[in-house]
Structure 1
Amino acid sequence: MNHLKSSAKSEVEENSLIEFHDEGFPLERRTKSKKVKKQQKIYGTPDVDVAVSDTCCSGCGALMHCTDPEIPGYLPSEKFKVLVEEDQLKKAICQRCYLINHHQKALNVTMSKEEYRAIVKRIKSEKALVLLIVDLLDLPDSIIPDLPELVGKNKHIVILGNKIDLLPGDAENYLQRIKRQLKAYCASMGISTSDNKDIHLISAKTGYGIENLITRLQSTWKYKGDVYLVGTANAGKSTLFNTLLESDYCKSRASDVIHKATISPWPGTTLNLLKFPIINPTPYRMFRRAERLKQASHMTEDDMNPEELKRIIQFSKQGYLVGHIGRTFQANQPSKKTLVEFDPDSLSFGEDLEEDVKKDPSSDSSTDAELTYNEIKDAHWFYDTPGIMKEHDVPSGGEERMKTFPPLVGQDFELQGQGCNTAITDIKISSAGWVAVTAAKGDQLLLRTHAPEAAGLCLRTPPLLPHVVNLKGQRINKTPAYKTRKPQALVDTGLSVKAAERLKVRKKN
């Protein structure tokens, strides 16, 4: 892998998730007028007399019903009855998924730990592969501590460190260092692996590392059984599910039939088991896939479609690691199924509900693409399980959620400096990020932090990015903060070296 370019050649990124502060620097306070966001009204009424359907929401996997707004899969009775009568319920999404997608509003739905365990416990009795997805930004709190007891101690577990695209390269070979840290944290919680190839650093969003993951799964696990994706809430499970749905790991026609999972910034979006059928990696298919990957490694920007080229350029500006995911086998379907959604505003009283659901004259429900019996009778499935809510979490959202914010409790830490270019430790708050602390060698520091008593405040030693201070750029005028130097993005696959140079990104060796 190419080492990071020198600071003189690195560009400075103003909008970065990393901030550098000098203690004691006078700060000029600036006040900004707050914009009051209008509350999204929720119309419609429940009807407890209507039976729960056997149809799952295509966004979160919960059974659709109209009995209680606080139970996953709820639809207002006015809309629910119309969809059932028109036989359109299987194409719809629940009220919660709709508001998350279109209004960035999360409803208060509940799922007890007992309900969650009842869903995931089914893995114990099955011959299955478990993919543990871990949020690297929230190590070690994003690791499930009792995973072997939950899924069975005889299960093969592959560890996926997600969101690696958001961690900048603070030193040469930093990816190997992060992988070692991830392995050590998992081992301390009883999740050990003897083969380092079962630990992958990926970005479900940008596609980095996904092709290598698929190749590994198809060459080792092959077609032995089902695959379950597990992890804490908001670790990126739904994003990875959607990414693999459009890849060589899914049956070619399935991605045209199965809707994508709902993605949102709120934890616990996926409430039941979404699934897609895994493609059988026969020797012929593996050969065809290897040929495609070989050709992709020599692609130029002229060989890529405009949308994919735009995606790589966009992600290279937002993150540090980018990947390209292709399809070897694609079904020639004329069009995807129409997703029937609802508008909460249309459920106000006095509006004609029959006009709200309109059929596309060019399509007929009887001609919708469906997987045939022969395609799925012996299929193995890839499952996206619900997210385990972390014990220590920081309230997020609007004023209503912040009313439940607990009082702050002080906690003192004594640290000794190791040099101005090396972080001593990370002061980490679960799900909220961390502060890397540096000090002159030999200096004694006494730091007092304030956080909710159960917020998961802790020291992370060794720090995740011990040399992150090397990315400090110029000071931002009239503030104690500094700009961040952003190294060139690293592209995993899909571009030739010359194309990478022209796009101002680096190609992984």
Structure 2
Amino acid sequence: MSEMLYCEGCGAILQTTDQTKAGFIPSSALETGNRICQRCFRIKHYNEVIPIQMDEDEFLEILHSIGQTDNFVVQIVDLFDIDGTLISGLPRFIGHNPFILVANKIDLFPKSVKYEKIKHWLRKYVNEHGLFPEEIFLISAEKNIGLKEVIHYLEKEKGNRDVFVVGATNVGKSSFINQVIQILKGKQSHIELTTSRYPGTTLNVVRIPFIDGKDIIDTPGIVNHKRFSEWVGPKTLKAILPNKTVKPKVYQLAGEQTLFWGGLARIDQVGKTRNNFVCYLANGISIHRTKRENADEIYQKHLGELLKPPTIEEAKQLPPFAKHDFRFTGRNKVDIVISGLGWVAVDGEPTNIEVYVPKGISVHLRDALI
């Protein structure tokens, strides 16, 4: 190809020579005027992803370029995995450019949740992590909740700037942009970014005409290797990513008990105490309660069967469990967060809690979100 062409779905440079590299398109498809690479075609029509190895330095280079010009930035975070998708070092990349925080997947939260309380909690949390956005929005790109408010704000505040959309992998950046473009241009827009449940769908910057002659720009997702989504296979990934309102599961434990989240996590109550454990995770993940003294045996015998996901085959691809110790003081309800999987809210009497997850997955304590 003499002229450099780009995939309209993921932004990769189109090429017809190497199927293992980003942007491959069969010559026959290119001759028909198609501008979608084979990988995007398979994602859209068959929900099948072809792994592509990307150099993380390329991601960082793209982010650094944002700070070298006058832009407006939208950072997308996943409300169900705030800690795993928040880019606390964002100011290093975007310089003095203003940014807003758009928290996606509010539709996963129970209907009783008050939006203003979530926004207040979120602002306090991101401030503690060194981020001071101009505004915070709660949205659902999937359900088209809150998008018009974001558009109205950008129309008023972005000025004569392009809008860069940044975030970790799988937070919904492309879905957000697709919804925004559809709202602004209706069915007339022929451009649709490739979206999927798989991390790393967008491979390069994708520029789309926006408002006032400027562009809205999709960027590749930043990889956070401490999240479950970066470790598990397609079957388990589908199971752990919630796609409908999460139903909290409440367990009243009376001492020395264990909760298994499938075969992916084990949560031990250590001591003869009384505590409430409220679990927020995908509805399809089974929770199994047992006596702590029986937990090792149950894990060995029933991983991949009673305790699933993952399947036995997928479990073999994960690192062995590592233990994380926490002390719950009993003064305030807290969340124990397992990045990319969910969290458990704990209250009741002071107790020790041990959490076992595959080595490398982030587990930490925070003030209760709900």
Same fold judged by TM-score > 0.5?
Answer: yes
Detail structure 1 runs of 4+ shifted over 6 Å in the superposition: none
Partner of 2:336: 427
Per-residue CA shift, 1:433-490, capped at 9, x if unaligned? 1122233xxx222222111221011122x1111xxxxxxxxxxxxxxxxxxxxxxxxx
Paired AA for residue 181 in structure 2? L
Paired AA for residue 317 in structure 2? T
Partner of 1:118: 61
Partner of 2:318: 405
Q: CA deviation at 1:426?
A: 1.6
Partner of 1:149: 92
Partner of 1:383: 217
- For residues 190 and 416 of structure 1, do their structure 2 counterparts lie closer, same or farther at Cα, with a shift above 3 Å needed? closer
Structure with greater strand share of residues: 2
- For residues 148 and 81 of structure 1, do their structure 2 counterparts lie closer, same or farther at Cα, with a shift above 3 Å needed? same
Partner of 2:130: 190
Paired AA for residue 107 in structure 2? D
Aligned pairs for 1:32-47 within 5 A: none
Determine whether 1:227 maps to 2:163.
yes
Paired AA for residue 176 in structure 2? L
Aligned pairs for 1:5-404 within 5 A: 54-75=4-25, 80-84=26-30, 86=31, 88-89=32-33, 91-152=34-95, 154-170=96-112, 174-193=114-133, 195=134, 198-222=135-159, 224-248=160-184, 252=185, 256-280=188-212, 379-394=213-228, 395-396=231-232, 397-398=234-235, 403-404=316-317
Q: CA deviation at 1:170?
A: 4.3
2: CA distance between counterparts of 1:402 and 1:63?
Answer: 36
Q: CA deviation at 1:412?
A: 2.3
Q: CA deviation at 1:189?
A: 2.7
Is the 1:416–1:445 contact (alpha carbons within 8 Å) kept by the matching residues of 2?
yes
Partner of 2:330: 417
2: CA distance between counterparts of 1:56 and 1:401?
Answer: 35
Q: CA deviation at 1:52?
A: 8.3
- For residues 168 and 257 of structure 1, do their structure 2 counterparts lie closer, same or farther at Cα, with a shift above 3 Å needed? closer
Is the 2:137–2:150 contact (alpha carbons within 8 Å) kept by the matching residues of 1?
yes
Per-residue CA shift, 1:165-222, capped at 9, x if unaligned? 1112446xx21221122212222332214x5xx1111111111111111111112224
Per-residue CA shift, 1:264-304, capped at 9, x if unaligned? 11111111122221223xxxxxxxxxxxxxxxxxxxxxxxx
2: CA distance between counterparts of 1:52 and 1:147?
Answer: 37
2: CA distance between counterparts of 1:103 and 1:145?
Answer: 35
Greater shift, 450-459 or 389-398, is seen at 389-398
2: CA distance between counterparts of 1:257 and 1:217?
Answer: 19
- For residues 204 and 262 of structure 1, do their structure 2 counterparts lie closer, same or farther at Cα, with a shift above 3 Å needed? same
1: CA distance between counterparts of 2:205 and 2:361?
Answer: 29
TM-score, structure 1 normalization: 0.54
Per-residue CA shift, 1:69-116, capped at 9, x if unaligned? 3322123xxxx22234x3x34x24222212222322222111111111
Partner of 1:446: 352
2: CA distance between counterparts of 1:149 and 1:390?
Answer: 17
Is the 1:52–1:66 contact (alpha carbons within 8 Å) kept by the matching residues of 2?
no
Aligned pairs for 1:460-475 within 5 A: 460=366, 462-465=367-370
2: CA distance between counterparts of 1:260 and 1:401?
Answer: 33
2: CA distance between counterparts of 1:188 and 1:54?
Answer: 44
- For residues 242 and 433 of structure 1, do their structure 2 counterparts lie closer, same or farther at Cα, with a shift above 3 Å needed? same
Paired AA for residue 29 in structure 2? L
Structure 2: where are the runs of 5+ without partners?
Answer: 236-310
Is the 2:84–2:227 contact (alpha carbons within 8 Å) kept by the matching residues of 1?
no
2: CA distance between counterparts of 1:267 and 1:97?
Answer: 13
Paired AA for residue 237 in structure 1? K
- Higher relative contact order at CA 8 Å, sep ≥6: structure 1 or structure 2? 1
Root-mean-square deviation (CA), in Å? Answer: 2.2
SS in 1 for 2:325: strand
SS in 1 for 2:197: coil
Q: CA deviation at 1:157?
A: 0.7
Paired residues, number: 291
Greater Rg over alpha carbons, structure = 1
TM-score, structure 2 normalization: 0.73
2: CA distance between counterparts of 1:403 and 1:242?
Answer: 37
Structure 1: where are the runs of 5+ without partners?
Answer: 1-50, 281-378, 466-509
Paired AA for residue 164 in structure 1? I
1: CA distance between counterparts of 2:88 and 2:19?
Answer: 32
Per-residue CA shift, 1:410-435, capped at 9, x if unaligned? 222221335xxxx8222211111112
Is the 1:58–1:93 contact (alpha carbons within 8 Å) kept by the matching residues of 2?
yes
Is the 1:136–1:161 contact (alpha carbons within 8 Å) kept by the matching residues of 2?
yes
Is the 1:53–1:63 contact (alpha carbons within 8 Å) kept by the matching residues of 2?
no
1: CA distance between counterparts of 2:20 and 2:314?
Answer: 16
2: CA distance between counterparts of 1:128 and 1:260?
Answer: 23
SS in 2 for 1:246: helix
Partner of 2:259: none
Per-residue CA shift, 1:231-262, capped at 9, x if unaligned? 111111011010011123xxx48x63542111
Is the 1:52–1:65 contact (alpha carbons within 8 Å) kept by the matching residues of 2?
no
2: CA distance between counterparts of 1:83 and 1:210?
Answer: 35
